[in-house]
Amino acid sequence: MNHTDQQERAEGTMLTGEQMIEMYKWMVTVRHFDRRAVNLQRSGRIGTYAALEGQEAAQVGCGYALEKQDWLFPTYREHGVSMVHGVPMTTVFLYWNGRPEGCMAPEGVNVFPISVPIATQLPHAVGAAWASKLKGENSIAVGFVGDGGTSEGDFHEAMNFAGVMKLPVIIFCQNNGYAISVPLSKQTATETLAEKAAAYGVEGIRVDGQDAVAVHDAVKYAADKARRGEGPTFIEAVTYRYGSHTTADDHTRYRDVNEAEMWRTERDPIDRLKARILELGIWSEEQDQALWEEADKVVQKSIEEMQAMPPVDHNRIFDYSYAELPWHLKEQREEMRSLYGNGGAK
């Protein structure tokens, strides 16, 4: 297939060959970022980290289907989709390095700060979608959640309000089968999560979360529908995270290691998309090797930028909760200053 042919729609998808290559490049970069982040945590250079390896197709496929004006409301694991939407990799590293700068997307990049409490970001996403509808804007909101988050009250409230108000919002669930150590079968009696959407008058879609093209097309369909004023969509992307819930967890205590290995060897999202673009004749093994080498350079540059940041002023831990500090926190601040001074970390 020549370069001109790459601009044509690939069979069975809304994407062109060039667009599939771009998604593949993002997936490789995100995986390399994720592996390096785990290594950084193990060496003490960042804090507890929530890995995503295995979920690259769900995140990149989703992010690639959205428009710049759309709003993202992530959990603590949406590093991939956040970067696709414009959050610099260095900013993501800074978050896990424990720095306030890691919570701030650049001007014009519509990504809310990471949400660690489970599902609390979903009502926020629905609220943003309501604001967009009231203002007559062309933006939609996407609220991300894991399978465990669908057992939270915030999920119910968000879905119910989105359905009643017919809001331009997508609730995007990455179902990796476990909420930390709790398997899906112990969370819900339904066969799927997508079918829950019907109870709220919302369209539910279940998609193969290991297929980046399928995820893209499902999200693009839902986004286009939302922009036409036809209401919300709940998308269940069936995926699998190879490693532990976070670096503070040990998944081998509650998951069969053979299960994870099966997903890695037989259903890996990067291998699947690579096979597709190789079959189309628009990618080569030589290009693939060069891509991995380039991804290493990109990630290393961001790590160096993170490490070059000056020490954080430890007084900042008192800055973000009160307009005026109460007396007991003032005492704590003075005690800290007496021990460490009035500047950066000692």
**104-108, 195-199, 292-296, 309-313: which range is least confident on average?**
309-313
Is 262's pLDDT higher than 70? yes
Considering the domain architecture, whether residues 338 and 294 belong to the same structural domain is answered as no
Question: Do 18 and 93 belong to one domain?
Answer: yes
Tokens read off for 185 = 């079968």
Report residue 40 as tokens: 């950084």
Whether residue 324 sits in one domain with residue 211: no
User: Catalytic residues, which ones?
Assistant: 241, 245, 254
What band does 343 get if pLDDT is binned at 50, 70 and 90?
Answer: low
Burial 62-73 (b: 16+ CB within 10 A, else e): bbbbbeeebbbb
Query: Is residue 313 pLDDT above 50, yes or no?
Result: yes
Do 117 and 203 fall into the same domain? yes
Say what the pLDDT of residue 345 is: 46
- Is 60 exceeded by the pLDDT of residue 107? yes
Q: Do residues 322 and 261 share a domain? A: no
- Domain count for the chain, please give it: 2
User: For strand 169-175 and strand 182-183, is the pairing parallel, antiparallel, or unpaired?
Assistant: unpaired
Predicted confidence (pLDDT) per residue in 319-329, tens digit: 888 999 999 99
Residues 6+ apart with CB under 8 A from 101: 91, 94, 309
Indicate the average pLDDT of the chain.
93
Task: Please give the pLDDT value at position 2.
Answer: 33
CATH code for the domain in which residue 267 is found: 3.40.50.970
Q: Are 184 and 161 in contact (CB under 8 A)?
A: no
Q: Is the pLDDT of residue 243 over 80?
A: yes
Contacts 24+ apart (CB under 8 A), 151-157: 151/179, 151/187, 151/188, 152/118, 152/119, 153/119, 154/118, 154/119, 154/120, 154/122, 154/123, 155/119, 155/122, 157/122, 157/123
pLDDT band at 285 (very low <50, low <70, confident <90, very high): very high
- 266, with CB counted inside 10 A (0-12, 13-18, 19+), is exposed
Residue type, 287: Q
Q: Are residues 212 and 302 in the same domain?
A: yes
Mean pLDDT of 208-215: 98
Are 295 and 317 part of one and the same domain? Answer: no
Q: What is the pLDDT of residue 7?
A: 43
In a shared domain, residues 94 and 235 = yes
Q: How many CA atoms lie within 13 A of 162 on its CB side?
A: 35
Same domain (yes/no): 108, 161: yes
Tens of pLDDT along 166-190?
Answer: 999 999 999 999 999 999 999 999 9
Cα–Cα distance for residue pair 45/309, rounded to 1 Å: 13
For residues 81 and 66, what is the distance between their CA atoms, to the nearest angstrom? 10
Mean pLDDT (whole number) for 93-108: 94
How many CB atoms neighbour CB 138 within 10 A?
11
How much is the average pLDDT of 10-33? 91
Q: What would the pLDDT profile of 68-100 be if each residue is shown by its tens digit?
A: 999 999 999 999 999 999 999 999 999 999 998
> Is the pLDDT assigned to residue 24 strictly greater than 50?
yes
Q: How far apart are CA 318 and CA 323, in angstroms?
A: 10
Q: Residue 132 belongs to what domain range?
A: 3-309
* Same domain, residue pair 318 and 260: no
Asked whether residue 166 falls in the same domain as residue 104, the answer is yes
Instruction: Indicate the pLDDT class of residue 10, thresholds 50, 70 and 90.
Output: low
Q: pLDDT band at residue 28, thresholds of 50, 70 and 90?
A: very high
- In this structure, the answer to whether residues 211 and 71 fall within a common structural domain is yes
What pLDDT score does 179 carry? Answer: 93
Do 127 and 87 meet the contact criterion of CB atoms below 8 Å apart? no
